[in-house]
């Protein structure tokens, strides 16, 4: 297993908004092939089958194909369970990677949470 | 192949995976624990090279994807060599094996990203490792243009 010191902080909160609960996973730092916390947290939260799993990437400064793949897998699992995953608040550089990888054609991207 | 030291000039005409002439702007070994540092080092080189900002981000992404692939499939470590010339930047990522197939097959989604942002890609592979060279070209002169003729 690859372990590394790329710094990514992952925090989870469950919010009620308009009577509808949603899970917000907030990513702060850089997400790459060495940041295992991303896959672990997404796996745990997706298994709880929330209606909406919102991944707040407003404080994410870099993401690579391995991390994108983890998000894509969580998206597929949630969709199979009748829920959905969305990305929120990408900075310009990350938004470009979402566009280049065509992830933004698969997963809804909103401007903010 | 033998790597030149930082600051030297090289010209590889065969077997170099598409390497041209230029000034060495970065020569770093990396493994899983230093991938994030490698990105920072590449970022620091962008102002030296004179690449437009948005393309600098492309270079960081592409080099990272190649380096990450070397970490995952190329024996856990590798080496990055960056050469700059007038309006051209070449980045070569090599690893020491263990092989098992050409990079384009093993790379998957990462290579998609690399191809999307680079102007040229040349790859060679064998039992002793893989070597991928990507080339970025841009309009106007790079800062190193006067030196690398």
Instruction: Say if A10 falls within a structural domain.
Output: no
Per-residue pLDDT reduced to its tens digit, B25-71: 999 999 999 999 999 999 999 988 888 878 999 999 999 999 998 88
For the segment A69-95, the average pLDDT, to the nearest whole number, is: 96
**Tell me, what's the pLDDT at A28?**
97
Q: What share of chain A is helix, strand, coil (3-state, %, to 5)?
A: 35, 35, 30
Query: Do A25 and A12 meet the contact criterion of CB atoms below 8 Å apart?
Result: yes
Instruction: Say if A1 falls within a structural domain.
Output: no
Domain that holds residue A41: 25-110
A65/B35 Cβ within 8 A = no
Q: Residue A104 belongs to a domain with what CATH number? A: 3.30.750.24
Instruction: Say if A19 falls within a structural domain.
Output: no
Q: Residue B131 belongs to a domain with what CATH number? A: 3.30.565.10
| ipTM for this prediction | 0.90
Query: Do B133 and B16 meet the contact criterion of CB atoms below 8 Å apart?
Result: yes
Per-residue pLDDT reduced to its tens digit, A94-110: 999 999 999 999 999 99
Query: Do B118 and B17 meet the contact criterion of CB atoms below 8 Å apart?
Result: no
- Residue tagged 């437009």 (tokens): B52
Domain that holds residue B60: 30-137
Chain B residues in contact with A3 by the CB 8 A cut-off are 32-33
B113/A100 Cβ within 8 A = yes
Residue B149 in this model has a pLDDT that exceeds 80 = no
Per-residue pLDDT reduced to its tens digit, B75-115: 889 999 999 988 899 999 999 876 545 544 444 678 889 99
List B residues 90-109 in contact with A (Cβ-Cβ < 8 A).
108-109
Name which of B75, B72, B63 is nearest B132 in CA terms.
B63
Number of domains in chain A: 1
Instruction: Say if A12 falls within a structural domain.
Output: no
Number of domains in chain B: 1
Q: Give B130 or A62, the one with higher predicted confidence.
A: A62
């Amino acid at each position: 297993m690859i372990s590394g010191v790329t710094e990514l902080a992952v925090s989870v909160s469950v919010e009620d908004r308009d009577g509808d609960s949603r899970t917000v996973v907030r990513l702060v730092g850089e997400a790459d092939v060495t940041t295992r916390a991303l896959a672990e947290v997404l796996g745990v939260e997706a298994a709880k089958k929330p209606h909406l799993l919102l991944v707040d990437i407003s404080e994410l400064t870099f993401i690579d194909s391995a991390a994108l793949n983890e998000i894509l897998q969580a998206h597929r699992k949630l969709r199979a369970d009748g829920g959905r995953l969305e990305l929120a608040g990408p900075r310009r550089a990350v938004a470009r990677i979402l566009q280049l990888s065509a992830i933004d054609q698969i997963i809804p991207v909103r401007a903010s949470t | 192949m033998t790597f030149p030291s930082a600051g030297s000039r090289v010209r590889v005409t065969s077997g170099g995976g598409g390497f041209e002439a230029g000034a060495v702007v970065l020569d770093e070994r990396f493994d899983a624990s230093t991938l994030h540092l490698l990105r920072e080092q590449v970022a620091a080189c962008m102002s030296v090279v004179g690449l437009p900002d948005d393309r600098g981000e492309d270079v960081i992404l592409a080099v990272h994807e190649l380096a990450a692939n070397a970490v995952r499939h190329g024996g856990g470590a590798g080496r990055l060599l960056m050469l700059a010339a007038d309006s051209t930047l070449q980045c070569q990522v090599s690893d020491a094996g263990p092989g098992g197939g050409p990079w384009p097959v093993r790379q998957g989604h990462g290579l998609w990203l690399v191809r999307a942002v680079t102007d040229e890609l040349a790859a060679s592979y064998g039992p002793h490792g893989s070597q991928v060279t990507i080339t970025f070209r841009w309009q106007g002169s790079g800062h190193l243009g006067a030196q690398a003729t």
